[in-house]
Structure 1
Amino acid sequence: MEAPTPKKSAIENAEPPDRISDLPDALLHHIFSFLDTRYAVQSSVLSSRFDFLWGSMLHLRFFSNTPNTTSLEKLIHKVLSLRDKYHIKSLHIHSDNDDDVPHVYYWILAAIRRNVREIDICMATRAAIHLPQFLFTCDSLTVLKLGLGTMGEDFPPVLFPDWVDLPNVKLLQFTRVSIDECFAFQLIRSCPSLETLIIVDSELSFEEEFEIVSRKLVHLGVQCRFPIYQRDVSEFKVRLVTPNLKVFRWEDYMVREFVWSEPAKLDQVEFGLVMDEEGRMDLDCAKECKQMQARHMLKLLEAVSNVNSLTLYGCYHLVTFDPSSASEYLSLQYHNLKYLKLETWLSADCLLATLYMLKICPNVKTLSLHRLEDDCLEPNHRCWDEKLSPSQHLEKCREAGSSKLCISHHLKVVEIHGVRGCMIELMLLEILLKGAMVLEKVVICTSEEKSSDGDKGLADFHKKLRALPRASSTVTFVFKEE
């Protein structure tokens, strides 16, 4: 064999080029923006190229879920103290260490002095935090996210200063906090540019009325976790003055009445009942409370009847859709609705509710059903299959289907998630296949929790499904496993 030349040998033994170090600063900053800042600081040991690159980063992220440690506090102080010449676009600090709370004041002050635009601070604390005045009078701020409490504990209140002025804030998000009347009057009204308001896992602790006045608000999402059945809630109201609202998501115990001062032309609506910490839903609450919940739900349905996309979850037990008393529900009409998503247990009442929802949505094109797990219900409310179903319930469902209450002349796609191969599922599909004239696709997603017969039962279910009569000659079936 021919011996390698010195030049060829040198090429073969040369180290591969360091292409990462050759990247421009802007691209490296973008890569580091997705990582914990501690890793960006540690990159300085790789080569001289990274020695001070982290010092000019525009996006800082600090995360710690280890209690009784001071490493995060020291790291943040060091990084912020060495950035006097550089601005900060975003500061994210998430810590489960209660000892970090006293340092929040300094961190916010240091970020604001560097013209920060986005602040996202999440601290696990049980005590109320007095947020500094300069945070709520910052002209450069466009995004403010605060998470203060701990799941399973009473959430701390958000304490605002006497004067609030955030002219450029477009997004507000609060997680695990207690919201009172001052939140609306002192904060929301002081953000004239507000477009997105998100309240997650929080408590609305107000006496009678909670008012949201925001002319530019486009996206509103609220998720309340605290049950208040024990209070006198008959006068609780949520008043919305949001004429430009497009996306509305609300999840609570349906004990508040919604009042829309200026109806908005909504594109997307999601609302329903919240579950408790064990994933169960209180279906055995007092009769008066259940009637109040149903009344509030129907009033909300009326207010959003012009929506394009509607999602309902955990609402089916509130109203019994009975053909003999359906006139008040059928007066609702969703002529603009194209997408309908329902989370359901597929009991007899849920199936009837589904049929009536399709009746009042004559132009819907896509129906997506997501079957909830029976474990979240009390035993006397759980789903029934062909072995447990009373014959009168079966007849009730068949009557609803034969009366063509569910026909939609525009329905093209049906998705059912969590299928177990039960008779109630087959009955629903039979009704849909008979009534949907232009149906094109049926997607069946089977659940891990299958019927008692397992794969054999699902195979029999698929066979029966394909044999069902159908009004559309172009329908195809797609089977998936979830």
Structure 2
Amino acid sequence: MEEEPNDAQSPTPKKRTLENAEPPDRISDLPDVLLHHIFSFLDTRYAVQSSVLSSRFDYLWGSMLHLRFFSNTNTNTTLEKLIHKVLILREKYHIKSLHIHSDNDDDVPHVYSWILAAIRRNVREIDICMATRAAIDLPHFLFTCDSLTVLKLGLGTMGEDFPPLLLPDWVELPNVKFLQFTRVSIDECFAVQLIGSCPSLETLIIVDSELTFEEEFEIVSRKLVHLGVQCRFPMYQRDVSEFKVRLATPNLKVFRWEDYMVREFVWLEPANVDRVEFGLVMDEDGRMALDSAEEYKKMQARHMFKLLEAVSNVNSLTLYGCYHLVTFDPSSASDYLSLQFHNLKYLKLETWLSADCLLATFYMLKICPNIKTLSLHILEDDCLEPSHRCWDEKLSPSLHLGKCWEAGSSKLCISHHLKVVEIHGVHGCMIELMLIEILLKGAKVLEKVVISTYEEKPSDREKGLAEFRKKLRALPRASSTVTFVFTEE
């Protein structure tokens, strides 16, 4: 018997047409403004190459408002021809931002013409980063551009002497709100000629640079809100005892400074900062803060206390690798016994598990009675001398543990507002258990303790961490609502 066709299984001509039709090109149907936004996150060369995908993209890249070009020594190509063509073929269109990052020395001679072309098109943001050993002759009109609101310059090569930031005699940037400099050498003229010529400046960032001023570095800016400085290289063979940073920034809210703490900070006006991040830069082996000469460490401790006193009204405080200096020199510490952070709600400390660091931790908690969140980031202490180490019980003298326990349990009054404790980089050792036990006993309203360990850890430490968690849950606590959260970094 002949089997009748099943209409339910046999597709109709209309269904077959729909099944065989190509899926719609939804990307090509997007409006220009949305495609421009997508392209703004890509290297512009990829946006140009998109023209081969569809006629819709033939000249779309020519009207892009944000241009990004990236090159490095591995590509064996320069950006000269690409940037030249892109800028020439879009003569009629304005540019909002121009980003050029290159590690190729062959690109350096063309920076002048690229900046000129961008300024002629009313550019608002310029981000130029050229890894070169020589000073770049930046065009004078870059520093007198009315349309510019953001200027970022990176000029040097890591591990080399940074080129100086050469400024013209006349600087006037009335609308610049954001300045950032990376890998440059900055002297006194920088503050006088540049910062003073930016009346609208709100953010100043200096990264991986060297401040080469001889005695004083003054920052005067009435509208400055965010100041971040990261000085990675020390000034050898100089008398650093007289170095001072003078700040006249009445509206400053975020203050971030990281260097060798050889500078004294002088606030010419009251500091009403909301967030402070301060750090001590280490040498490559991490020994500067612990193995420096006593006179040098005394100077660092003195500068540390003076800074803390100036910003004692902050709401958030972060200290990197330096706060242990508060216990180094008892004679200088006695001058600041009245130091208190009554408004502080968030405290972050980057620390080793040495005796000095633990004592400093308890000291900081004592002078911060109203904090709600404490975040401790434990550093690997391979760079420390055995006598400084505490995480390894075999190397840690019992005297250190006893001294820390006494300071933490009997003399310390933990904040009655502390609700969250975060401890990152936990090894699972006795000194960490002792630290947590002191916090649990003193914090009466504590709600959460976050314990974070490294994802990659030796097999023998894995067993120790399991035992550590077991002991942790058995510790006595003042708060009945504490929960433990274990995570891996």
Q: Same fold (TM over 0.5)?
A: yes
Task: Measure, in 1, the Cα distance between the counterparts of 2:309 and 2:45.
Answer: 51
Residues 323 and 400 in structure 1, CA contact (< 8 A), matched pair in contact too? no
Picking from 6, 14, 17, the partner of 1:7 is: 14
Residues 302 and 332 in structure 2, CA contact (< 8 A), matched pair in contact too? no
Q: 1:159 to 1:193 in 2, by over 3 A?
A: same
Task: Measure, in 2, the Cα distance between the counterparts of 1:53 and 1:245.
Answer: 42
Q: Give the corresponding residue for 2:479.
A: 472
Task: Provide the TM-score with structure 1 as the length reference.
Answer: 0.96
Return the letter of the residue paired with 2:396.
Answer: S
Task: Measure, in 1, the Cα distance between the counterparts of 2:341 and 2:220.
Answer: 26
Q: Give the corresponding residue for 2:322.
A: 315
Q: 1:246 to 1:473 in 2, by over 3 A?
A: same
Q: Does 1:146 align with 2:153?
A: yes
Residues 240 and 263 in structure 2, CA contact (< 8 A), matched pair in contact too? yes
Residues 177 and 201 in structure 2, CA contact (< 8 A), matched pair in contact too? yes
Return the letter of the residue paired with 1:54.
Answer: W
Q: Give the corresponding residue for 1:401.
A: 408
Q: Give the corresponding residue for 2:196.
A: 189
Q: Deviations over 1:3-27 (max 9, x none)?
A: 4333222211110100000000000
Q: Does 1:290 align with 2:273?
A: no
Q: Give the corresponding residue for 2:224.
A: 217
Q: Give the corresponding residue for 1:370.
A: 377
Task: Measure, in 1, the Cα distance between the counterparts of 2:331 and 2:287.
Answer: 31
Return the letter of the residue paired with 1:387.
Answer: K
Residues 313 and 341 in structure 2, CA contact (< 8 A), matched pair in contact too? yes
Map 1:141-180 onto structure 2 (within 5 A).
Answer: 141-180=148-187
Decide which moves more: 329-338 or 359-368. 329-338
Residues 420 and 449 in structure 1, CA contact (< 8 A), matched pair in contact too? no
Aligned residues: 482
Q: 1:119 to 1:379 in 2, by over 3 A?
A: farther
Q: Which runs of 5+ in 1 are unaligned?
A: none
Q: 1:328 to 1:460 in 2, by over 3 A?
A: farther
Q: Deviations over 1:63-87 (max 9, x none)?
A: 0113584442110000001111100
Q: Give the corresponding residue for 1:37.
A: 44
Q: 1:390 to 1:477 in 2, by over 3 A?
A: same
Picking from 65, 71, 74, the partner of 1:64 is: 71
Task: Measure, in 1, the Cα distance between the counterparts of 2:396 and 2:388.
Answer: 12
Residues 277 and 318 in structure 2, CA contact (< 8 A), matched pair in contact too? yes
Task: Measure, in 2, the Cα distance between the counterparts of 1:353 and 1:285.
Answer: 18
Shift, 1:327, TM fit: 4.3
Q: 1:449 to 1:26 in 2, by over 3 A?
A: closer
Shift, 1:382, TM fit: 3.6
Q: Does 1:262 align with 2:269?
A: yes
Query: SS in structure 2 opposite 1:104?
Result: helix
Residues 194 and 214 in structure 1, CA contact (< 8 A), matched pair in contact too? yes
Shift, 1:322, TM fit: 8.6
Shift, 1:310, TM fit: 0.2
Q: Give the corresponding residue for 2:3.
A: none
Q: 1:17 to 1:431 in 2, by over 3 A?
A: same
Picking from 229, 243, 254, the partner of 1:247 is: 254
Picking from 78, 89, 93, the partner of 2:85 is: 78
Q: Does 1:128 align with 2:158?
A: no
Residues 280 and 378 in structure 1, CA contact (< 8 A), matched pair in contact too? no
Map 1:452-471 onto structure 2 (within 5 A).
Answer: 453-471=460-478
Decide which moves more: 251-260 or 8-17. 8-17
Shift, 1:117, TM fit: 0.2
Q: Give the corresponding residue for 2:31.
A: 24
Task: Measure, in 2, the Cα distance between the counterparts of 1:296 and 1:325.
Answer: 10
Shift, 1:159, TM fit: 0.2
Task: Measure, in 2, the Cα distance between the counterparts of 1:156 and 1:53.
Answer: 38
Query: SS in structure 2 opposite 1:172?
Result: strand
Task: Measure, in 2, the Cα distance between the counterparts of 1:407 and 1:239.
Answer: 35
Q: Deviations over 1:11-50 (max 9, x none)?
A: 1111010000000000000000000000000000111100
Q: Deviations over 1:359-380 (max 9, x none)?
A: 0000000000000111344555
Task: Measure, in 2, the Cα distance between the counterparts of 1:416 and 1:369.
Answer: 5
Q: Does 1:226 align with 2:237?
A: no
Task: Measure, in 2, the Cα distance between the counterparts of 1:376 and 1:385.
Answer: 14
Task: Measure, in 1, the Cα distance between the counterparts of 2:30 and 2:121.
Answer: 26
Task: Measure, in 2, the Cα distance between the counterparts of 1:281 and 1:263.
Answer: 31
Decide which moves more: 115-124 or 469-478. 469-478
Residues 253 and 275 in structure 2, CA contact (< 8 A), matched pair in contact too? yes
Q: 1:284 to 1:358 in 2, by over 3 A?
A: same
Task: Measure, in 2, the Cα distance between the counterparts of 1:33 and 1:449.
Answer: 37
Shift, 1:271, TM fit: 0.5
Shift, 1:446, TM fit: 1.5
Task: Provide the TM-score with structure 2 as the length reference.
Answer: 0.95
Task: Measure, in 2, the Cα distance between the counterparts of 1:166 and 1:67.
Answer: 36
Q: Does 1:385 align with 2:392?
A: yes
Query: SS in structure 1 opposite 2:290?
Result: coil
Task: Measure, in 2, the Cα distance between the counterparts of 1:326 and 1:264.
Answer: 22
Task: Measure, in 2, the Cα distance between the counterparts of 1:229 and 1:282.
Answer: 16
Task: Measure, in 1, the Cα distance between the counterparts of 2:14 and 2:36.
Answer: 38
Decide which moves more: 408-417 or 447-456. 447-456
Q: Percent identity?
A: 88
Query: SS in structure 2 opposite 1:318?
Result: helix
Task: Measure, in 2, the Cα distance between the counterparts of 1:155 and 1:457.
Answer: 46
Query: SS in structure 1 opposite 2:156?
Result: coil
Q: Give the corresponding residue for 1:344.
A: 351
Q: Does 1:302 align with 2:302?
A: no
Query: SS in structure 2 opposite 1:22?
Result: coil
